Amino acid sequence: MKNRNVLISGASVAGPALAYWLHQYGFDPVIVERAPALRDGGYAVDFRGEAHMSILRMMGILPELEAARTGVGSMSYVNSAGKPVAKLPADLFAGDLEILRGDLARILYDATKGFTEYVFGDSVTSIAEDDHGVTVGFERGAPRRFDLVIGADGLHSNTRRLAFGPEEQFVKHLGVYCAIFTTANHLGLDHTGHAYRTAGRLTAMYSARHNAEAKAVFYFGSPELGLDRRDVVRQQALLTERFTGNGWESDRLLHDMRYAPDFYFDSVGQVRMDAWTRGRVALVGDAAHCPSSLSGMGSGLALVGAYVLAGELAAADGDHRTAYDRYQERMGAYAAGCQKMGDGVARLMVPGSRLTASFLNRYYKLMPYLPGKDMAARIARRTAENITLPDYASLAVR
């Protein structure tokens, strides 16, 4: 086996999933993660269709995921008094299995920590490739040698920046910003969620962890603002400016935001690249082809990408040139389809005018009675299943 020693940057979803499969085929994965520990919180992510579910089954983690699932059903749009005026079906939001991103990361970590070296609180600062491998520099640790380097470090991938170029070349801002944090379930939501939409803004809450808590979500439309992604004080001040007096639960949630242990704020964007590999470096998950958090496809796409990339490396006996080409070929159309799901969703999520927002609220109210009411959910399912997974089982050595 060639190129057995593989560095993976990122310990969220794609990174640990890739480490799991690499280990099955005889590789030795190391994961470096900038955060000092696993990141809790985050929004709910979902898996749908046989491609996603079969990989979770093969990994042996499906029972744990089922136990931790949110169980959230349909989502209701409400008016300023909190009265439901429209309801969207659960399949559109939750697929076959919905779980909080933090819970998913913990389960993946537990499934891989026994054979994967995890380095928390550090990040890659340099990548120097030669004919025999890659010398990787780190922010805190000493330089190390690896055969291959895989970037699984998300929308704002540091690996992508170092190996391919500045973020601006590849990340397309969709005109929306998002904030999410954990709060008390003061509305008593029972495996459901409420959303309140006004022109250019959306405030939502949905129950989590068997109704013991809730997630508060803010979306607002805006061109790129150039905010420091680590300046929480400025981010919260901006949300307060945008949503104070917006109605429904906005002011209460803005107050609770100050005490949240897991506040998250970011732009909503997609990653568009002609190629996800260069030399001995490859990208997987959001770092390669983020379809945006609004698409509902990001975690499933990351899971499939990790499975295919590891399988192709095993099928090529570690020859990264052959494996990377096959990985791109197998995943290209599938990733493009998942990204298409994210196109246009931003304008529907936070319409720019009061007239459009009012029209959409009325449309959603009538949706259950219209022909093709389940069309969006069916399209999402077809997109998630639009890949034939290769069978790499015979290549496993463990």
Q: What is the pLDDT of residues 8-67, one digit of tens each?
A: 999 999 999 999 999 999 999 999 999 999 987 677 888 988 999 999 999 999 999 999
Token look-up 């603002």 returns 225
Distance CA(378)–CA(384), nearest Å, equals 10
Token look-up 């799901």 returns 341
| pLDDT of 124 | 98
Distance CA(367)–CA(209), nearest Å, equals 29
For residue 5, pLDDT over 60 is answered with: yes
Contact 237, 154 (CB under 8 A): no
| pLDDT of 97 | 87
Q: Where are the beta strands (DSSP E) in 34-170?
A: 44-47, 75-78, 84-88, 97-100, 117-120, 124-130, 133-138, 144-146, 148-151
Contact 232, 243 (CB under 8 A): no
Name which of 279, 324, 301, 333 is nearest 51 in CA terms. 301
Enumerate the β-bridge partners of residue 183: 214
| pLDDT of 342 | 74
pLDDT (tens digit, 9 = 90+) per residue, 90-147? 666 667 888 989 999 999 999 999 999 999 999 999 999 999 999 999 999 999 999 9
For residue 241, pLDDT over 80 is answered with: yes
For residue 287, pLDDT over 80 is answered with: yes
> What is the overall mean pLDDT for the chain?
90
Percent of the chain with pLDDT over 90: 70
For residue 348, pLDDT over 90 is answered with: no
For residue 195, pLDDT over 70 is answered with: yes
What domains lie within the chain, and their CATH numbers? Answer: 5-349+377-395 (3.50.50.60)
Position with higher pLDDT, 206 vs 367: 206
Q: Quick one: average pLDDT of 356-384? A: 65
Note the pTM of the prediction, 2 decimals.
0.92
Name which of 161, 127, 162, 126 is nearest 147 in CA terms. 127
Contact 35, 11 (CB under 8 A): yes
Distance CA(127)–CA(281), nearest Å, equals 9
For residue 367, pLDDT over 60 is answered with: no
Strands 281-283 and 148-151: parallel
Q: Which residues of 246-271 are buried (b: 16+ CB within 10 A; e: fewer)?
A: bebbbebbbebbeebeebbbbbbbbb
Strands 148-151 and 5-9: parallel
Q: What are the φ/ψ torsions at residue 22 (nearest 5 degrees)?
A: -60, -45
